[in-house]
Amino acid sequence: MKKFSKIIIAGLALLMIGSFAFAGGGQQKSKVDVGIVLPTKDEPRWVQDETRFLDALKGQANVELLFSQGDSGKEKQNVETLLTKGIKVLIICPHDGTAAAAAAEAAKKEGVTVIAYDRLINDTTAVDYYVTFDSVSVGKAQAQYLVDQLKGKTKAPLYLYAGAASDNNAFLFFQGAWEVLQPLIANGTFVIKNSSEAVALQGKKDLTRAEMAKIIGQISTNWDFNDAKRKAADNLTSASTADKGEVFILAPNDGTARAIADEFAKDTAVTKYYVTGQDAEKASVQYIIDGKQSMTVFKDVRTLVSDAVAMAKDVLAGKTPITTGSYNNGKKDVAAKQTEVVTVDKNNVKAALIDSGYYPASDFTGL
Ligand code: BGC
Together in a domain, 116 and 69: yes
Q: What is the mean pLDDT of residues 116-124?
A: 98
Each residue's pLDDT tens digit, 43-64 = 999 999 999 999 898 877 699 9
**240 exposure class (CB count in 10 Å sphere: 0-12, 13-18, 19+):** exposed
Residue 23 predicted with pLDDT over 70: no
Domain total in the chain: 2
Cβ–ligand 1 contact at 263 (below 6 Å): no
One domain, residues 163 and 102: no
Ligand 1 atom closest to 299 (CA): 9
Is 300's C-beta closer than 6 angstroms to any atom of ligand 1?
no
Query: Which range marks the domain in which residue 176 is found?
Result: 135-299+344-363
Q: What average pLDDT does the structure give for the chain?
A: 92
Ligand 1 centroid from CA 120, angstroms: 12
Q: Is residue 194 in a domain?
A: yes
Q: Are residues 93 and 79 in the same domain?
A: yes
Q: What CATH number does residue 74 fall under? A: 3.40.50.2300
- 319/350 same-domain check: no
Ligand 1 binding pocket includes 224 (Cβ within 6 Å)? no
Residues 264 and 147 in one domain: yes
Residue 18 pLDDT exceeds 50: no
Same domain for 191 and 279, yes or no, is yes
Q: Are 118 and 326 in contact (CB under 8 A)?
A: no
Same domain, 165 and 187: yes
Tell whether 311 and 285 lie within a shared domain: no
Amino acid identity for residue 121 in this structure: I
Distance of CA 133 to the CA centre of its chain: 9
Residues 221 and 260 in one domain: yes
24 part of a folded domain: no
If you count them, how many residues does the chain have? 367
Write down the pTM of the prediction. Answer: 0.91
Distance from the alpha carbon of residue 12 to the mean position of ligand 1, in angstroms: 47
Same domain, 140 and 269: yes
